[in-house]
Amino acid sequence: MSASDTRAAVNERVSPGAAEAGERRNIAKRAGIVAAGTLASRLLGLGRDQTIAALFPRGVTDAFFVAFTIPNVLRQLLGEGAVQNAVLPVLVKVREQRGEAEARRFFSAVRGVSLLALVATTALGIGFAPALVSLFAGGYASVPGELERTVLLTRWVFPYVLCMGTAALGAAALNTHRRFVATSFAPGLLNVSFIGLALVLPPVLGAHGYDPGLALAAGALLGGVLQVVAQWPSLNAIGYLGALSFTLRDPGVREVGRRMTPLLAGMGVYYVDVVLARRFLSELGLGAQSYFSWAMRLCDFPQGIFVMALQAAALPSLARLAARGERDELGRTFAFGMRLALFVAIPATALFVGLAEPLVVLLFQRGEFDHEAARQTAAALVAQASGVWLVAAVRQLLAVYFAVGDTRTPVYVAATDLVAFIVLALVLRGPLGHVGVGWAVSGSSAVQAGLLWLLLRKKVPSVAGQGIAGSVLRVAGASAAAVLAGRCVAFALDRGPHAGVVARALPGLLGAVAFGVTFLLVAFCLKSPELVTLREEIRRKLARRRGGGAPS
């Protein structure tokens, strides 16, 4: 048993109240570890996007974003989505009820079955790449060479599914054992690979008559392999790197199958949104895919740094509470996670909407990325960023459904979400182009969040407000004041699109600084409890390090 597991067991024997409070503190601490790793990965990801935007023309970036989206959808279905939300709760239950040895046998069987599914999926994806590209980007048929380039890149990048599905399964085991360092920092290796090969390979490929865009496919494959290898020492330390078992007889494997079937159906419905979004964008002219994708990447930044980190940290605790039947504490833990998630997501929404163009100019405008690209990307960012806080809410709500073993309700909600997206996209893409598709994504997220909340209140009555509304009001007030300060600074420094590189960067840079400082000051004055929680966790870490204690 690890030291963290021992401390958790001791806490549970001390007193129920102390254990519950300690578990919520542990969620914040573990989310901080995940967030730190994800922050490093996202910063590298930002460097990756800046490199790609500056070095490759829009025809190459449009093709690559579609090619990379196709295996990414399957990765999220078979890997991060299904594995994390079906395998992890079952693994937690097996450890709780049957012991560590049985948990290792169960994980060995799941690894074997997963490997077979991932290999088959990869082979089928490579073989049917032309059909998949036609499905995702049929509009490319009217652009000479674009469809063929996208098919080529898709075939080369498809084995990424195998790597990432394997990495997702390893992350489930490590997160169950409260080991978040490897799973949090390993994704940064993908971005290192992208940046390195994008800088080095294009001239070599071009000199030998190959499409320079293959450098991006090579970056994806190398990054996937590195992420799998980076987990091996940690998996070996907990005894989960043993031989594979290819049996379906394990009761845990069968339970994963029962959970995964409706989960895959629900996520499949959800990712039809992605297919349709890419299809719509392929019909909206050169650059539409790229503008939409760069805006989406910026929105992923706060979601990945803290919102998804918090979900990953909270899910093992929620699953453990559900397995023990502690519904009241499950409700309190959910509310705690929701308040923390919205404390980050609401100001992120305000920042991206209020300072969209200055931020895009600061981050991307150089090389092949000109002022028109900045303007179009900023418009896409406003549309998509309006739903960042809604996606944060959805993540926390889904964690409760998966923890209690309800994978059916999200299917019905996802189907409704799909209908809302299709209707909104068809109505808005005509007058607004790629921006309309972004607004459709945000609008459908609002439908999904509302339905999940209403239905969860009926299924798990212990999930109540628990101070969420008051927290939202405080955070929204601080965000509004921060937007006003940031926009005033950015407007005062704006020297127009033809200013020098430094002058163009200042409005976004100093506007964002003004936003951040104002938000923290106002949140402090409003006595936001989430700010206090995060501040106290930082203080505890600093005190431990000054005292010579090992960091968690």
> Are the CB atoms for 177 and 103 separated by under 8 Å?
no
Over residues 544-552, the mean pLDDT reads 50
Higher pLDDT pick, 114 / 360: 360
Measured over the CA atoms of residue 512, residue 516, residue 521 and residue 525, the dihedral's sign is positive
User: pLDDT category, 508, cuts 50, 70, 90?
Assistant: very high
User: 412-425 pLDDT, tens per residue?
Assistant: 888 888 899 999 99
Could you give the C-alpha distances from 545 to 182, 184, 326, 404, in angstroms and in order?
21, 21, 34, 37
> Are the CB atoms for 526 and 474 separated by under 8 Å?
yes
Residue-level pLDDT at 219: 94
User: pLDDT category, 466, cuts 50, 70, 90?
Assistant: low
449 φ/ψ sector (left φ>0, alpha ψ -120 to 50, else beta) = alpha
User: pLDDT category, 1, cuts 50, 70, 90?
Assistant: very low
Residue-level pLDDT at 12: 42
- Res. 11: pLDDT tops 50: no
> Are the CB atoms for 238 and 173 separated by under 8 Å?
yes
3-state secondary structure of 369: strand
User: 104-116 pLDDT, tens per residue?
Assistant: 998 898 888 888 8
The region of weakest confidence among 51-55, 201-205, 286-290, 533-537 is 533-537
Residue-level pLDDT at 331: 74
How far does CA 125 lie from the centroid of its chain?
23
Give the integer Cα–Cα distance in Å for 105 and 99: 10
Main-chain phi, psi angles of 178, to 5 degrees: 60, 35
- Res. 8: pLDDT tops 60: no
> Are the CB atoms for 448 and 303 separated by under 8 Å?
no
Residue-level pLDDT at 436: 93
Residue-level pLDDT at 366: 84
Residue-level pLDDT at 531: 80
178 φ/ψ sector (left φ>0, alpha ψ -120 to 50, else beta) = left
Residue 550 DSSP label: P
- Res. 182: pLDDT tops 80: no
Higher pLDDT pick, 69 / 350: 350
Over residues 210-220, the mean pLDDT reads 93
Residue-level pLDDT at 263: 60
User: 19-70 pLDDT, tens per residue?
Assistant: 555 555 565 555 556 666 667 777 888 889 889 988 998 889 899 988 988 8
Give the integer Cα–Cα distance in Å for 97 and 269: 33
Give the integer Cα–Cα distance in Å for 133 and 71: 11
The region of weakest confidence among 162-166, 401-405, 485-489, 506-510 is 401-405
Neighbours of 210 (CB within 10 A): 14
As a three-state string, the secondary structure of 298-352 is: HHHHHHHHHHHHHHHHHHHHHHHHHHHCCHHHHHHHHHHHHHHHHHHHHHHHHHH
* Nearest one of 24, 321, 40 to 183, comparing CA atoms: 40
Residue-level pLDDT at 493: 92
Give the tokens for residue 98. 């049957």
**Angle CA 476–481–484, to nearest 5:** 125
Give the integer Cα–Cα distance in Å for 118 and 111: 10
DSSP codes of every residue in 183-249: HHHTTHHHHHHHHHHHHHHHHHHHHTT--TTHHHHHHHHHHHHHHHHHHHHHHHHTT--S-----S-
551 φ/ψ sector (left φ>0, alpha ψ -120 to 50, else beta) = beta
Residue 545: its H or E element: helix 529-546
Neighbours of 458 (CB within 10 A): 9
Please state, rounded to an integer, the average pLDDT across all residues of the chain.
81
Q: Is the pTM of the predicted complex or chain greater than 0.75?
A: no
- Res. 139: pLDDT tops 90: no
Over residues 66-80, the mean pLDDT reads 74
In the numeric block, the tokens 């951040």 are attached to 516
Residue-level pLDDT at 545: 55
Higher pLDDT pick, 322 / 229: 229
